[in-house]
Amino acid sequence: MALSKVNPNLITQGATGRKNLVINGAMTVAQRVGTTSTVANNYDATPDRIRQEAYGDATASWQQVTDAPVGFKNSLKVTCAGTALPSAGNTLRLMTGLEGQDIAHLEYGTAQAKNATLSFYVKASETGIYSTALVNIAPSGNIASNVNRSHIKTYTIDSANTWEYKTLTFSGCPDGTWGSSNSNGITIVFDLGSGSDHQGAKDSWLTTSDTFASGQVSLGDSNGGSWQMTGLQFELGSVATDFEHRTYAESLLACQRYYEIIADGGRANDSPFFGIGHGVKSDQINWFYDFKAEKRATFTLIVNTVTNGYYGKNHSSEKNNNTLGMTSVHQSLHSIRGYLTGITGVTEQSAYSMQCNGAGCLIAVEAEL
């Protein structure tokens, strides 16, 4: 039987092996809010690894939805309320950050910088021109003051409320400062109508923080205006290849590097047990938890305050309070040692089963870019 020849261009473009640099590009993982529509900033209202930003005049809700193009289950949806035109310094955009060590092969900041292609499915209520950009600052950083390189590309929504496939190729950036470790390397920005302070020229690398080009649709000036996206892929080369689907388990584990739920009393399928406890003093139980995924960096412990919502239980008693904590010396990238205090009658040197009690209970750790 004759052997088929592999197209060398596909190898050059990175079409073999793991190619998509975006985590959760199919928008399947949404640990924080699921399908709930939420008005918020930062990472609190979107599928994992997507940071939302609506400052100033725009009021937007964000959620994971099941409306998606053929071949996908979920998408991210943004819905605006009101009819406010953005003031100069305001922003309406979403973004995802890529670690420097994951984009090092693109050689940004050197004469060998390589082209990379962004592809995605998009659906919007308003036709017209929209912008996306690459910048070299973390999503949680101050884009307006910290970026020293940005590259804007535009795409056009041709038909309202219809899924369309878009591809944009960015030239490699030969200069500027680009992370190469576990800090931010590249941030991909989708601008949905920010203020004029953030407008710049398209199709070339800028030494500014601009994220949209002239003619951009302002989604926030339309009450009920909506924009959806899924199938987000960023890959080496000048040609967009088919979306690289990953299993839900793979995507969840990758997302847990940045945000991991230890216990959530509000989710039916989550266990209320969150670790093994050890009575160290009459008024304190220490608890221990090994993470499912190594954390990107030093993390923040997130605990919802619920009256008597967290407790340790042994063979003879329960000790409950709402005071869960952690000191910086009691964490690593792989595990955490926390404490439950504000209690009495703890049996020292006794083992305790640590549990949360109530729908409002939540324990999580966050190490986002």
**Residue 196's domain is classified under what CATH number?**
2.60.120.260
Note whether 202 and 182 are same-domain residues. Answer: yes
User: Which residue range forms the structural domain that includes residue 90?
Assistant: 8-255
* From 31-45, 172-186, 228-242, the region with the lowest mean pLDDT: 31-45
pLDDT of 354 over the 70 cut = yes
Pick the closest to residue 338 from 293, 291, 271 (CA basis). 291
pLDDT of 84 over the 60 cut = yes
pLDDT of 126 over the 70 cut = yes
Residue 61 confidence class, pLDDT cut points 50, 70, 90: confident
The mean per-residue pLDDT over the stretch 178-184 comes to: 91
Q: What average pLDDT is seen over the chain?
A: 88
Handedness of CA 32, 37, 41, 47 (dihedral sign): positive
CA distance 76 to 74: 7
Note whether 53 and 175 are same-domain residues. Answer: yes
**Whole-structure pTM value:** 0.91
Note whether 210 and 110 are same-domain residues. Answer: yes
Residue 231 lies in a domain: yes
pLDDT of residue 50: 94
The mean per-residue pLDDT over the stretch 252-271 comes to: 85
Residue 144 confidence class, pLDDT cut points 50, 70, 90: low
Residue 204: burial class (beta carbons within 10 Å; 0-12, 13-18, 19+): exposed
pLDDT of 259 over the 90 cut = yes
Q: Which residues, 6 or more positions from 326, have their beta carbon under 8 angstroms from its beta carbon?
A: 301, 336, 337, 338, 339
Note whether 29 and 174 are same-domain residues. Answer: yes
pLDDT of 14 over the 60 cut = no
Q: Between 144 and 212, name the one with better pLDDT.
A: 212
Domain tally, the chain:
2
